[in-house]
Structure 1
Amino acid sequence: MECIGPFTCIWFWLGENVAAIIAASAMGATLWQGYIARKHNRLSVKPHLVVHSTLSLQSPQIAFAISNDGLGPAIFQSYTLSIYDTELTPDDTIEEITRIIQGYGHSSATSITLRGWHAGESYKQGAYKEAFEVYGDFGTDKAQLDDVRKLLKNITIKINYSSIYGEEFKLTFRNNKTSNQG
């Protein structure tokens, strides 16, 4: 057939290639759906760790807990706890940690409970776990409570974790504020 005008040429070409055009459109739509499905699957199992801090008049006076408020499990890569920028290691004994705290003027701290995680350990969705507790007789007057608040503001928790898809996230808790990146 001959083209009478520019529009008739386009219509002739479309008519001859309609099957290929439909097939290419279907392939494009399928690829897009696959991309959207993968993105949705990653979001549907994304972990989100949150640090909860407690300041109480009863023992333990300072407590930190970590919860996974996301939709999927968190896989721990590393976990560090620092007090006044002194990083604690898994090899530090409870007595050494108590001495560190007491060395910064918090002599009322008598006992500490520290729980850690190991690399590769999974933390299921909805889980809540105590991480760090400071026991002692800090008292209830304003000066003593200010001392406890000062200690609370100088504790830093850093957690590197990932999703089951390997996406990495970083949580940093300092000065009663949480930064969750990733």
Structure 2
Amino acid sequence: MSKNERLQSTIAIFIATIALMISVWQGCEQRRHNRLSVRPLLGFETISHNDTRSIKLMNSGLGPAVIESFQIGLDGKQLDAESGNPWRPVIDARNLRGKYSAMYYFAEASIIKPEETYSLLTWTPGDTLALGITISIRYQSLYEEDYTITESF
């Protein structure tokens, strides 16, 4: 093999190696983009309107959120949606019987589509605006990436 042929072979191997590295990098970037393009992004919103107050949950992301768990913390105790309606103890403890107009919770494997909004609780607060509760939701993306959102109200 001549010196010129060896040089050409070395350059070809170098170019092939660079092309392979670029291809791997591009594949990683494409994978990252695909995950971000279907990532759910849950958020809470508290709305006061006239004499009512609402806690709303919305999915502002581009992908669906698959609910793993929905829990409400009340006076240091976790109320789980799997053991029944977790809002009932809140209604009783905060004296909201007859003062609420909507309550919603999510069971395991519930799906929140992109741009969906749910009114979790709507009530007439009377003297107290704060309920003294914590809502915690664990959810996954389509790629089974885990996320958690927790907020106190």
**Normalising to structure 1: TM-score of the pair?**
0.70
Partner of 1:17, secondary structure, is helix
Aligned twin of 1:66 = 57
Distance 1:135 1:15 in 2: 80
Would the alpha carbon gap of residues 93 and 124 (structure 1) be closer, same or farther in structure 2, given more than 3 Å must change? closer
Deviation at residue 21 of structure 1 after TM alignment: 1.5
Distance 1:79 1:168 in 2: 14
Assess if the C-alpha contact under 8 Å between 1:88 and 1:97 holds in 2.
no
Assess if the C-alpha contact under 8 Å between 2:70 and 2:80 holds in 1.
no
Q: Write out aligned runs for 1:149-160 (5 A).
A: 150-151=130-131, 154-160=132-138
- The one-letter amino acid of 2:98's match is T
Residues 55-85 of structure 1 deviation map (CA, whole Å, 9 limit, x = unaligned): 3442xx3311100011111111101112333
Aligned twin of 1:121 = 110
Residues 35-58 of structure 1 deviation map (CA, whole Å, 9 limit, x = unaligned): 010001111111110101123442
**Normalising to structure 2: TM-score of the pair?**
0.82
State yes or no: 1:82 paired with 2:70: no
Deviation at residue 13 of structure 1 after TM alignment: 5.3
Q: What is the percent sequence identity of the aligned residues?
A: 25
Partner of 1:131, secondary structure, is strand
Q: Which consecutive unaligned segments of at least 5 residues does structure 1 have?
A: 3-8, 103-107, 139-143, 176-182
CA RMSD of aligned residues (A): 2.6
State yes or no: 1:17 paired with 2:10: yes
State yes or no: 1:161 paired with 2:150: no
Distance 2:108 2:68 in 1: 5
Q: Write out aligned runs for 1:97-108 (5 A).
A: 97-102=90-95
Residues 86-139 of structure 1 deviation map (CA, whole Å, 9 limit, x = unaligned): 43344258664322113xxxxx65344321112122111111111122246x1x
**Among 93, 96, 110, which residue is 2:98 paired with?**
110
Partner of 2:123, secondary structure, is strand
Aligned twin of 1:173 = 151
Larger gyration radius, structure 1 or structure 2: 1
- The one-letter amino acid of 2:56's match is A
State yes or no: 1:37 paired with 2:30: yes
- Would you identify which runs of 4 or more consecutive aligned residues in structure 1 move more than 6 Å? none
